Amino acid sequence: MLKKTLKIALLSGLVGSSIALPAWADVNVEKGTTIATEWDKRDEGFRDSNATLKMVLENRHGEKSTRELRIKTLEVPDMAEGDKSLTVFRKPRDIKGTAFLSFAHIHDPDDQWLYLPALKRVKRISSKNKSGPFMGSEFSYEDMSAQELAKYTYKWLKDEPCGDATCYVLEQRPTYENSGYTKMVVWYDQAEYRRQKIDFYDRKDALLKSLTFMEYQQYLGKFWRALDMQMVNHQTGKKTRLTFAKYEFKTGLREQDFTKNKLKKVR
């Protein structure tokens, strides 16, 4: 048995996985990858975006606290590289002006810098904390980071109704290190390939969080963005709601708008 597995593994390494894996797995992986590729393709060419974002954190007692930020994103066309983003915090007031610059990479750790306005100091920070909470919310750094095709492997599970639409349901496993998830189950609507829901499974493969996408808006006749997202942590009962406003695309942002120097000069 062990020998056989080894042989299959060797074979797959030499000839490619299509021969070695059972036919049903292969078909589902292929189908899942095709769906995800289509999802990725439909968002190609947005070049850059700019949006304001409100984040409402709610603990299990219903107590709320609010954060406000502005996010600028630059699409990096190279498929092997992730996008660049610059986030400026507006609220809570005590961290107003704090800014965060991130160069996402597919498999290498992201490059991240944090600007602290009280000291006027830019700090390069370690990006190993992918699973850590972003601003104390239920979104982790990896949830906020650019969603790139190559960051996951894909497997189609089933088709099923989701709200008024019908969805492809895919299982996605992170290909990068230090993820807080073993897998995500993602619902894509069949009409527009928009993500409708994500279930996140923790390192022990237990259901951790669910993210629901609402109020999809289409920009420039192509790019869909959910203006309302709700993350629920099933293990702690905490919730975080994200609402976006003032979405703009192709605003003319360039590489030089995403630098350490610029980090000190945005408001």
Partner 1 sequence: MFHSFLRSIFCLSLLILTVLSPRFSYAEMDVEFSGFIAGDLRIFSENGLLEDQSDARLNPSFVIQPEWSAEWNGGDDRLDFIPFFRADFQDEERTHADIRELKYLHVDDGWDVTIGLDKVFWGVMEARHLVDIINQTDNVEDVDGEDKLGQPMINVGVQRDFGDINFFVLPYFREQTFAGLDGRLRAPLDVDTDRANYDSDLEEFHPDFAVRYATVMGDWDLGFAHFYGTGREPRLVAELGGTGDLVLVPHYDLINQTSMDVQATIEEWLWKFEAIYRTGQGDDFEAMSAGLEYTFFGLIQDVGDLGVLVEYHHDGRDGSAPATIFDHDVFFGLRAALNDEDDTSILGGIILDTETQAQVFTLEASKRLNDHLTFEGELRIYSNQSDTDPLYSARDDDHLQLRLSYYF
**Helix residue ranges per DSSP H, the chain:** 2-15, 17-20, 23-41, 141-144, 260-263
112 or 172: CB nearest partner 1 = 112
Chain centroid to CA 3: how far? 39
Q: By CB under 8 A, is residue 133 in contact with partner 1? A: yes
146 binds partner 1 per the rule CB under 8 A: no
Does 136 engage in binding with partner 1 (CB under 8 A)? yes
Instruction: Read off the tokens for 261.
Output: 């120097």
Rounded-to-integer distance, Cα 59 and Cα 208, Å: 15
Name the residue type at position 179: S
Under 8 Å CB-to-CB from 187, ≥6 apart: which residues? 160, 162, 167, 168, 169, 195, 196, 197, 198
4 lines the binding site for partner 1 (CB under 8 A): no
* Count, residues near partner 1 per rule CB under 8 A: 36
Nearer to partner 1 among residue 12 and residue 233 (C-beta): 233
64, 68, 233 from 61: Cα distances, Å: 9, 22, 14
Closer Cβ to partner 1, 109 or 174, answer by number: 109
**57 contacts partner 1 (rule: CB under 8 A):** yes
Interaction of residue 137 with partner 1, rule CB under 8 A: yes
Pattern of binders to partner 1 over 84-103, x per CB under 8 A? -------xxxxxx-------
DSSP 257: G
Alpha carbon distance 124, 113 (integer Å): 4
Minimum CB distance to partner 1 smaller for 110 or for 148: 110
**Of the two residues 158 and 256, which places its CB atom closer to partner 1 in the complex?**
256
Asked if 260 interacts with partner 1 (CB under 8 A), we say yes
Binding footprint of partner 1 on the chain (CB under 8 A): 57, 59, 65-66, 91-96, 109, 111, 119-126, 128-129, 131-133, 135-137, 256, 259-262, 265-267
